[in-house]
């Protein structure tokens, strides 16, 4: 048919392949465009992304270690400043002279006439506490205590001969024995805890005007002490206490910490706990959803595609599992196999896949009847490719929507378990999700409601996240909804 | 039905390309949760026979639900025929293994009813049209792209649209994509299942013209399904009228419009609008009354008897035979005679 060919050429012009193709918009792009227009969904998406990022970067963004208990700053209301000298005090074991300094910066912060508590975090898990009583502009007294570490056998503390104080201003050193001889400091200083008077002339001052005293004890017998000063007067006493401290430096450059959301009764920063709690909640939500995704999509797709009796049996199994009291199952599993986080993932995922399987099966069942599947069979596409090329890509939209809605459902379920006290553990440490924090807050609330923030923050965080995920899920559903799109 | 002899429905002087004999498709109706009981069946296609000659277009017309699609789907084995044979190029498709059937489909393709459902919305036009070529390894790389572009231009689409998705096209354009896909394997016969029913009237003619044009260029044979006689008028060489799983009349195109023999055909023809308003007003449209036909029911006599304005007592009790009245013109009706339906038979009672 030569004339027919030339007719085609006339229509086609010079080779149609060479003309640049117009780029089409896939349904994914189309859905994204719709989603972009949905303000609530976009807010949900942004919040979800922020929450996820904060969960991933918890170590980086959380201002404090959420696990460290510091009872002396316990139950502070939101927007509290604490004077933590953590990072500013360095304590190491050693035999060098102990130097403790009351920094000017410290005096500035503390001199507001109120009683403050200073947190000292000392390495080697020895925690000290400083009580500052500031009556006027200057510090009156610092009590540095080492709670619980006073040795039961005080005579183990031995003061070595020839050890010395150092005058920070002049650099002069005073032998300890010399000091004892010269003043009222007993020679048997190291034997007992107590208050001792340091002769004024033995106390050095540095360039900033801070007072310095240095005492060294032998071995593990260590010291904390009080430097007492009043209205510019030099310290007049030191209190000696044994602890595993050999070297303490206090430079006082960063003294205040802002606990934006307050602290809990153990002195743990609420914001940090919230961030790490979110990590647990989201991790459980996402992981259990992924578990349900893998099982549910495979199971549902096979049931829907194979159909017939196999489908029937498979879906009856799902129905039976659906009828099981899931909470009971999860509790049983956690009792039987321990409170491992894996058990939780599996238990929650194993429950969620049921709905996923039903949804995917329903989709595959209806897609299988679509004419494009018939068309694919007609043009020689084989079974496996029908599944991968035609069915699964068309199910994915619904799967994504359902996944987005499963994550909050799982978070809520896990919270419920945590609320019942079924928290999971990792390395022997409890993993406290938002649900656990809510539970803690509820307990702390007690009758009076004075620690309201402990309940409020995790509740708000959870609500915001659940709302966001649900808005996002709804938005995605609308974006993928063929009805709304009015075509297909 | 039994006296519908195998050769009787072929057009004069041609060996048929497709020959369906006593084709039946019954869908079981099942009850029960785990163990299904069969409580009846939908007789979607209930014993039909017809031939299609090479290069010819056989129109298949009938109201919705009468089994037209099922007929086409049984021929191409998207559903398994319950009984009967479908000989295509001398091979009985009904008994082929699924692998052999896959090969046979290279020469027998189908265009689907719903242009919105027949294209995978996640695939680009390029991938849709290339799919059959890839499946049979007929082209790859540059040659594949070239062939797809050629096919697109052939059905009147710009090859520059090849990277677009189905939802970006109008119904008519989508149907053209379906045509391009059906043409990709260079088949000798295409089953067109209501290819224009879902389209706007203005677009219908364009697609019908395209199909006619392609038939002339590529020597195609069509089974062209439609639910009213107006659409098949231009394209069909012969027309078969189907009612509730049966073919009630089959005749050369000109004849069926000029001298219909079955009351159902007459009723269908009366529903075609006539462009001349005066004539349209003058004409009486035959409205069909009676029970909506059910393919699950068993009929002793003519299936159309309940609704037939011309029925006689015999119709309800005895199945009318398929009789050839003039060469190539068959009808199954007790009322119609050698000279067609008696005068006034169609007047409503
Ligand atoms: N897979 C199936 N299972 C059960 N019944 C079916 C199936 N497919 C079709 N049917 C029934 O068979 C009958 C004929 O359906 P078919 O789709 O062939 O009709 P049609 O003539 O193509 O109608 P339309 O013009 O609406 O496309 C209908 O009653 C339909 O309900
Ligand atoms: Mg149909």
Local confidence band at A70 (pLDDT 50, 70, 90 cut-offs)? low
Q: Enter the ipTM.
A: 0.90
Rounded distance between C-alpha atoms, residue B189 and residue B58, angstroms: 11
Name the residue facing B112 among A25, A374, A380 (closest C-beta).
A374
Among candidate residues B181, B120, B131, B117, the one with its CA nearest the CA of residue A391: B120
Chain A residues within an 8 Å CB radius of B182: 379
Return the structure tokens found at B60: 């298949």
Please state, in angstroms and as integers, the Cα–Cα distance from residue B14 to each residue in A303, B10, B18, B57, following that order: 48, 7, 11, 13
Q: Which residues of B touch A303 (CB under 8 A)?
A: none
Question: Closest Cα to atom 3, ligand 1: which residue?
Answer: B27
Q: Where are the beta strands (DSSP E) in A164-301?
A: 164-166, 173-175, 194-197, 204-205, 211-215, 237-240, 247-250, 256-259
Which pLDDT belongs to residue A214? 41
Q: Which residues line ligand 1 (CB under 6 A)?
A: B 27, 42, 44, 62, 64-70, 113, 194, 227, 295
In angstroms, the CA B262 to CA B146 distance is 50
Q: Does B174 lie at the interface with A, CB-CB under 8 angstroms?
A: no
Measured CA to CA, the distance from residue A346 to residue A332 in angstroms comes to: 13
User: Which of A16, A25, A366, A486 to mutate: most B Cβ within 10 Å?
Assistant: A16
CA of B68 to the centre of ligand 1 (A): 8
Chain A contact for B153, CB < 8 A? yes
Question: With a cut of 50, which residues of chain B have pLDDT below it?
Answer: 1-8
Among candidates A8, A378, A394 on the partner chain, residue whose Cβ is nearest the Cβ of B154: A8
Ligand 2 centroid, distance to B330 Cα (angstroms): 24
Do the chains contact at B119 and A375, CB–CB below 8 Å? Answer: yes
Compute the average pLDDT of residues A425-433.
82
A397-420: pLDDT as tens digits? 889 899 998 999 999 988 888 888
Dist. CA A229 → ligand 1 center (Å): 100
Q: What angle do CA B38, B40, B41 make, to 5 degrees?
A: 110
What percentage of chain A carries pLDDT values higher than 70? 57
Task: Categorize the per-residue pLDDT at A487 as very low, low, confident or very high, splitting at 50, 70 and 90.
Answer: very low
Give the pLDDT confidence score for residue B12 in this predicted structure: 53
**Per-residue pLDDT, B348:** 56
Contact assessment for residue A303 and residue A315, using Cβ atoms and an 8 Å cutoff = yes
Residue A486 pairs in a beta bridge with: none
Q: What is the pLDDT of residue B3?
A: 41
Six token digits for residue A302: 């096979």
Instruction: Give the minimum alpha-carbon distance from A311 to chain B in angstroms, rounded to a whole number.
Output: 10
Q: How many CA atoms lie within 13 A of A488 on its CB side?
A: 21
Closest CA to B180 of B149, B135, B216: B149
**Considering only CA atoms, which residue is closest to atom 5 of ligand 1?**
B27
Closest CA to B90 of B107, B78, B73: B107
Domain A4-59+269-484 part of CATH 1.10.3720.10? yes
> Which residues from chain A sit within 8 angstroms of residue B142, using beta carbons?
17
Mean pLDDT of chain A: 67
Q: What is the B86 CA–ligand 1 centroid distance (Å)?
A: 19
The domain locations on chain A are: 4-59+269-484, 80-259
Task: Give pLDDT, residue B11.
Answer: 52
B107 interfaces chain A, CB cutoff of 8 Å? no
User: Which among B268, B340, B214 has a CA at the least distance from the CA of B66?
Assistant: B268
Q: How far is B198 from chain A (nearest CA, A)?
A: 13
Any bridge partners for residue B239, and if so which? Answer: B59, B251
Interface test with A, best of B118, B121, B197 (most A CBs within 10 A): B121
For residue A137, pLDDT over 80 is answered with: no
Across the range A281-307, mean pLDDT stands at 90
B170 has a chain A CB within 8 A of its CB: no
The pLDDT value recorded for residue A273 is 93
pLDDT at position A190 over 80: no
The residue-averaged pLDDT of A178-199 equals 34
Domains and CATH numbers, chain B: 2-30+38-107+185-331 (3.40.50.300), 117-184 (no CATH)
Q: How many angstroms away from the CA of A320 is the closest CA of chain B? A: 14
Token output for A168: 């920070």
Pocket probe mutation, ligand 1, options B25, B67, B76, B245, max atoms within 8 Å of Cβ: B67
Q: Which atom of ligand 1 is found nearest the CA of B73? A: 18
| Banded model confidence at residue A256, pLDDT cuts 50, 70, 90 | low
Contact A485 B181 (CB under 8 A): no
Q: Which residue of A has its CA nearest to B128?
A: A376
The reply to whether B147 touches chain A by the CB within 8 Å rule is no
pLDDT at A237: 35
Closest in A11, A26, A376 to B122, CB measured: A26
* B282: Cβ contacts below 8 Å, ≥ 6 apart: none
Kindly tell me the burial class for residue A177, based on how many C-beta atoms sit within 10 Å of its own C-beta (0-12, 13-18, 19 or more). middle
**Residue A329 banded pLDDT, cuts 50, 70, 90:** confident
Sheet strands (E) in chain B: 18-31, 37-52, 57-61, 83-88, 91-92, 108-111, 189-193, 221-226, 238-243, 246-252, 323-326, 329-331
Of B59, B46, B9, B25, the closest CA to residue B239 belongs to B59
Interface with B, mutate which of A21, A315, A366 (most B CBs under 10 A): A21
Q: Which ligand is nearest to the CA of B30?
A: 1
CB proximity B152 to A under 8 Å: yes
pLDDT at res. A381: 93
Which residue in A24, A28, A396 has the most chain B C-beta atoms within 10 A of its own C-beta, making it the best mutation to test that interface?
A24
| Mutation test residue for ligand 1: of B48, B65, B76, B193, the one with most atoms within 8 Å of CB | B65
Q: What angle do CA A283, A285, A291 make, to 5 degrees?
A: 95
From the list A1, A26, A380, the residue facing B105 with the nearest CB is: A380
Rounded to an integer, what distance in angstroms lies between the CA atom of residue B255 and that of residue B12?
15
**Tokens of residue A133, six digits:** 């009583």
CB contacts, 8 Å: A485 with chain B: 167
Q: Which of A253-267, A343-357, B6-20, B98-112 is predicted least confidently?
A: B6-20
The mean per-residue pLDDT over the stretch A188-214 comes to 39
Q: What is the mean pLDDT of residues A115-123?
A: 40
Q: How far apart are the first and last CA of chain B?
A: 29
- Look at B306 and A177; give whichever has higher pLDDT: B306
Cβ–Cβ of A375/B34 closer than 8 Å? no
Q: B329 touching A, CB under 8 A?
A: no
Which residues of chain A have a CB within 8 Å of the CB of B163? 21-24
| Closest approach atom of ligand 1 to CA B71 | 18
Torsion sign, CA atoms B285, B290, B294, B300: negative
pLDDT in tens, A9-56: 444 445 667 777 888 888 888 888 889 999 999 999 999 999 999 999
Q: Rounded distance, CA B30 to CA B40, Å?
A: 7
**Pick from A250, A193, A235, A198: which is nearest to A217 by CA?**
A193
Mean pLDDT, residues A202-228 taken together: 38
State the distance from the centre of ligand 2 to the C-alpha of B194, rounded, in angstroms.
7
């Amino acid at each position: 048919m030569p004339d027919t060919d030339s007719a085609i050429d006339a229509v086609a012009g010079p080779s149609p392949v060479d003309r640049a193709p117009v780029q089409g918009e896939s349904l994914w792009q189309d859905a994204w465009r719709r989603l972009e227009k949905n303000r609530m969904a976009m807010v949900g998406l942004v919040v979800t992304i922020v929450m996820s990022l904060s969960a991933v970067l918890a170590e980086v963004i959380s201002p404090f270690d959420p696990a460290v208990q510091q009872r002396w700053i316990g139950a502070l209301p939101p927007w509290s400043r604490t004077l933590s000298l953590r990072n500013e005090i360095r304590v190491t074991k050693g035999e060098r002279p102990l130097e403790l300094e009351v920094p000017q910066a410290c005096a500035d912060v503390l001199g507001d006439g109120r009683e403050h508590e200073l947190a000292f975090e000392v390495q080697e898990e020895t925690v000290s506490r400083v009580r500052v009583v500031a009556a006027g502009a200057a510090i009156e007294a610092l009590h540095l205590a080492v709670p619980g570490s006073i040795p039961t056998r005080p005579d183990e503390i031995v003061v070595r001969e020839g050890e010395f104080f150092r005058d920070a201003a002049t650099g002069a050193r005073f032998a300890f024995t010399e000091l004892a001889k010269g003043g009222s400091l007993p020679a048997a200083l190291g034997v007992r805890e107590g208050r001792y008077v340091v002769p004024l002339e033995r106390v050095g001052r540095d360039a900033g005007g801070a007072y310095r005293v240095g005492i060294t004890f032998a071995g593990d017998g260590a010291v904390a002490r009080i430097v007492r000063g009043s209205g510019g007067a030099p310290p007049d006493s030191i209190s000696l206490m044994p602890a595993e401290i050999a070297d303490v430096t206090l430079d006082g450059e960063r003294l205040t910490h802002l606990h934006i959301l307050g602290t809990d009764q153990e002195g743990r920063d609420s914001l940090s706990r919230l961030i790490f709690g979110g990590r647990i909640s989201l991790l459980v939500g996402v992981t259990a959803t992924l578990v349900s995704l893998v099982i549910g999509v495979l199971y549902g797709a096979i049931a829907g595609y194979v159909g017939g009796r196999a489908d029937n049996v498979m879906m009856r199994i799902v129905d039976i599992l659906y009828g099981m009291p899931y909470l009971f199952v999860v509790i049983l599993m956690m009792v039987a196999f321990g409170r491992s986080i894996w058990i939780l993932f599996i238990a929650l995922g194993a429950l969620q896949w049921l709905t996923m399987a039903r949804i995917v099966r329903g989709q595959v069942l209806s897609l299988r009847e679509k004419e494009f599947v018939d068309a694919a069979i007609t043009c020689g596409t084989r079974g496996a490719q029908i599944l991968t090329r035609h069915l699964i890509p068309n199910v994915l939209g619904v799967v994504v929507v359902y996944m987005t809605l499963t994550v909050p459902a799982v978070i809520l379920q896990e919270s419920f378990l945590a609320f019942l006290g079924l928290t999971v553990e990792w390395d022997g440490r409890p993993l406290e999700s938002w649900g656990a924090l809510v539970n803690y807050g509820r307990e702390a609330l007690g009758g009076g409601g004075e620690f309201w923030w402990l309940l409020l923050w995790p509740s708000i965080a959870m609500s915001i996240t659940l709302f966001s995920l649900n808005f996002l899920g709804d938005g995605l559903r609308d974006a993928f909804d063929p009805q709304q799109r009015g075509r297909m | 039905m039994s006296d519908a002899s195998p050769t009787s429905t072929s057009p004069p002087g041609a060996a048929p390309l497709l020959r369906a004999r006593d084709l039946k498709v019954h869908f079981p109706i099942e009850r029960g949760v785990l163990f299904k009981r069969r409580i009846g069946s939908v007789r979607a296609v209930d014993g039909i026979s017809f031939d299609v000659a090479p290069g010819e277009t056989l129109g298949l017309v009938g109201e919705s639900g009468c089994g037209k699609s099922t007929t086409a789907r049984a021929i191409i084995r998207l559903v398994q025929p319950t009984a009967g044979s479908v000989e295509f190029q001398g091979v009985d498709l009904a008994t082929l293994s699924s692998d052999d059937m896959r090969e046979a489909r290279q020469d027998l393709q189908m265009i689907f009813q719903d242009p919105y459902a027949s294209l995978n919305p996640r695939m680009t036009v390029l991938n849709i049209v290339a799919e059959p070529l890839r499946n049979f390894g007929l082209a790859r790389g540059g040659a594949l792209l070239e062939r797809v572009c050629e096919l697109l231009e052939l059905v009147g689409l710009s090859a520059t649209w090849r990277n677009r998705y189905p939802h970006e096209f109008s119904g008519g354009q989508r149907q053209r994509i379906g045509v391009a896909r059906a043409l990709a394997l260079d088949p000798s016969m295409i089953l067109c299942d209501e290819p224009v029913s879902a389209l706007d009237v203005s677009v219908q003619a364009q697609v019908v013209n395209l199909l006619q044009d392609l038939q002339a260029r590529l020597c195609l044979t069509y089974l062209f399904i439609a639910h009213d006689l107006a659409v098949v008028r231009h394209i069909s060489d012969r027309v078969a009228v189907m009612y509730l799983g049966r073919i009630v009349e089959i005749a050369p195109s000109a004849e069926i419009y000029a001298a219909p023999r079955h009351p159902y055909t007459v009723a269908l023809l009366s529903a075609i609008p006539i462009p001349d308003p005066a004539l349209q007003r003058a004409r009486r449209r035959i409205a069909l009354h009676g029970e909506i036909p059910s393919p699950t029911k068993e009929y002793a006599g003519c299936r159309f008897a309940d609704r037939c304005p011309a029925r006689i007592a015999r119709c309800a009790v005895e199945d009318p035979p398929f009789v050839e009245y003039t060469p190539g013109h068959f009808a199954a009706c007790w009322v119609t005679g050698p000279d067609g339906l008696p005068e006034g038979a169609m007047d409503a009672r």
